[in-house]
Amino acid sequence: MDAEILERINRGIILRTGAYLTNDHFVLPSGRHAQEYVEKALATTEPAFTEGLGDVIAKHFAEEPIDLILTTGYGASLLGHCVARAHPLRPRFIYANKQRNDSGVSQVTLPREFRQYFVGNPRVLIVEDIMTTGETVKGLIKLVKLLGGTVSGIGTLWRRMRKVNFKFPLFALVDREFPTYTPKDCPMCRRGMPINQEFRTGPSPQKSRRVRAGAH
Ligand SMILES: [Zn+2]
């Protein structure tokens, strides 16, 4: 099947989870405006969809000799579990913990109990839900190397930025980079479309609003 058609189907599935919001007006953490938004926490709220998406990733890597599926974060772990369940080699599913260090840099560490699975150079598939900057995946790759494993590939629902790449096979169900605008050039602002407040992630120009919201 044509890759673009397949991607449209996958995007439709993610749309049905409620995680992919479109035809709206969002303020992103960067302060830029966009018509589309992905709320990653919603991508894995329907188990049947999560299983279906996990199946697609598992199928893509079905020929790969995979011993471990490694994730971090709740959403990615739900998906990773489904990928492990669907892969023909029945790899073990494990997760790393993610924390910010004192300088605010995000770090991943493996729970001590999982270290035993890294004996004998296991082949590891990294699974991520929504990949934006790729920092988390980078941390997981480092972790696998440090523990003596080999990265077989990376599977993700959505790669938000095409420039994010690794020297390992990467499979993204959706590979869409949606356009963003400065507030000055935003076509939605120009049309007077109200900004979606529910999924507002960017800086708010109305400080008093935030204070009120925090008082609840
Ligand atoms: Zn706008």
Domain chopping of the chain, boundaries: 3-201
**Per-residue pLDDT reduced to its tens digit, 86-98:** 999 999 999 999 9
Ligand 1 centre and the CA of 75: distance in Å?
29
Q: What's the mean per-residue pLDDT of the chain? A: 89
Q: Are 148 and 163 in contact (CB under 8 A)?
A: no
What type of residue sits at position 187?
Answer: P
Confidence of residue 200 (pLDDT cuts 50, 70, 90): confident
**Per-residue pLDDT reduced to its tens digit, 168-180:** 999 999 988 889 9
* Location of structure tokens 């008082």: 215
Average pLDDT over residues 143-157: 97
CB atoms within 10 A of CB 152: 22
Ligand 1 centre and the CA of 20: distance in Å?
18
Ligand 1 centre and the CA of 28: distance in Å?
10
User: CA 201 to CA 121: how far, in whole Å?
Assistant: 41
CATH topology of domain 3-201: Rossmann fold (3.40.50)
Which run of H or E residues covers position 146? helix 135-146
User: CA 191 to CA 138: how far, in whole Å?
Assistant: 40
Ligand 1 centre and the CA of 123: distance in Å?
45
Ligand 1 centre and the CA of 33: distance in Å?
5
Ligand 1 centre and the CA of 186: distance in Å?
5
